[in-house]
Chain A
Amino acid sequence: MTSADVAEVVASPEAIAARLAASRYLADDSLATAIFLAIRLGKPLLLEGAPGVGKTEAAKAVAELLGRELVRLQCYEGIDAGHALYEWNYQRQLLAIRHAGEHEIDIYDDRFLIARPLLQVLRAPEQRVLLVDEIDRSDHEFEALLLEFLSDFQISIPERGTIRAATQPIVILTSNRTRELAEALRRRCVYHWIGYPDAQREAEIIMLRARGVAEATARAVANAVQEIRARPLAKPPGIAETVEWANAATILEKGGSPWPQAFRRAIGVLIKDEEDLSAIAPELGRIVEEALG
Chain B
Amino acid sequence: MRRPEDLPRPAAPFLGFARLLRSHAFAIAPEQVTSFMQAVTLLGSRSMNDIREAALATLAPSPDRRGEFETHFRAYFYSDAKPSIGGKEEDETRVKDERGTRDKENQTARQEKGGELSSALEQLSSRNFQRDADELGQFRRKLASALPARRSFRTTRTRSRGALDLRRSLSEIVSADGDIPSPLLRRRQAVSRKLLLLIDVSGSMKLHTADYLKLAHAAVQGADRAEVFTFGTRLTRITSALRIRDREQALARAAALVDDWDGGTRMGPTLLAFLSVPRFSAFARGACVVTLSDGLERGSHAELEIAMRRLSARAFRLSLASPLAGDPRFRPETAALRAILPALDDLVDGSSVKSLTDFILSLARPAPAAASIWKRIS
Contacts and interface: CB of A to CB of B under 8 A. Distances in A.
A97 B178 contact: yes
A275 B306 contact: yes
B310 A275 contact: yes
A57 interface: no
Contact of B53 (A34, A93, A107): A34
A34 B279 CA distance: 24
Contact of A192 (B56, B154, B272, B278): B56
B283 A187 contact: no
B57 A190 contact: yes
B60 A13 contact: no
Nearest to B59: A191
A178 B278 CA distance: 6
B184 to A, nearest CB: 12
B75 interface: no
Interface string B289-325: 0000000000000000010001000000000000000
A193 B66 contact: yes
Interface in A105-152: 107, 136, 139, 141
B167 A90 contact: yes
B276 interface: yes
A189 interface: yes
A71 interface: no
B42 interface: yes
A186 B154 contact: no
A177 B278 contact: yes
A178 B283 contact: yes
Contacts of B275: 234
Interface in A54-86: 76-80
A40 interface: yes
Given A90-B170, A107-B174, A37 B39 contact: yes
B362 interface: no
Contact of B63 (A41, A48, A94): A48
Interface in A19-67: 29-30, 33-34, 36-38, 40-41, 43, 46, 48, 50-51
Given A97-B174, A232-B272, A37 B154 contact: no
Contacts of A50: 278
Contacts of A36: 42-43
A179 B170 CA distance: 38
A183 interface: yes
B276 A233 contact: yes
Interface bin, chain A: 35 or more
A191 B60 contact: yes
B85 interface: no
B153 interface: yes
B49 A29 contact: yes
Given A37-B57, A190-B57, A234-B310, A78 B154 contact: yes
Given A233-B276, A234-B276, A37 B54 contact: yes
A41 B42 contact: yes
Contact of B154 (A139, A178, A179, A190): A139
B71 interface: no
Nearest to B269: A232
A76 B152 CA distance: 11
Interface string B147-167: 000001111000000000011
Contact of A191 (B29, B57, B276, B282): B57
Contacts of B310: 234, 275
A51 B278 CA distance: 9
Given A190-B35, A232-B276, A40 B42 contact: yes
A93 B178 CA distance: 12
Contact of B31 (A136, A176, A187): A187
B228 interface: no
A193 B63 contact: yes
B32 interface: yes
A90 B173 CA distance: 11
Contacts of A190: 35, 57-58, 60
A230 interface: yes
A37 B166 CA distance: 44
15 contacts: A33-B53, A51-B278, A76-B153, A80-B155, A93-B170, A94-B170, A94-B173, A177-B278, A177-B279, A178-B282, A178-B283, A187-B29, A187-B60, A189-B60, A234-B276
Interface of B: 27, 29, 31-32, 35, 38-39, 42-43, 49-50, 53-54, 56-58, 60, 62-63, 66, 100, 102, 152-155, 166-167, 170, 173-174, 178, 272-273, 275-276, 278-279, 281-283, 306, 310
Given A178-B279, A188-B31, A234-B310, 10 more contacts: A13-B43, A30-B56, A37-B43, A76-B153, A77-B153, A90-B170, A97-B178, A107-B174, A189-B60, A234-B276
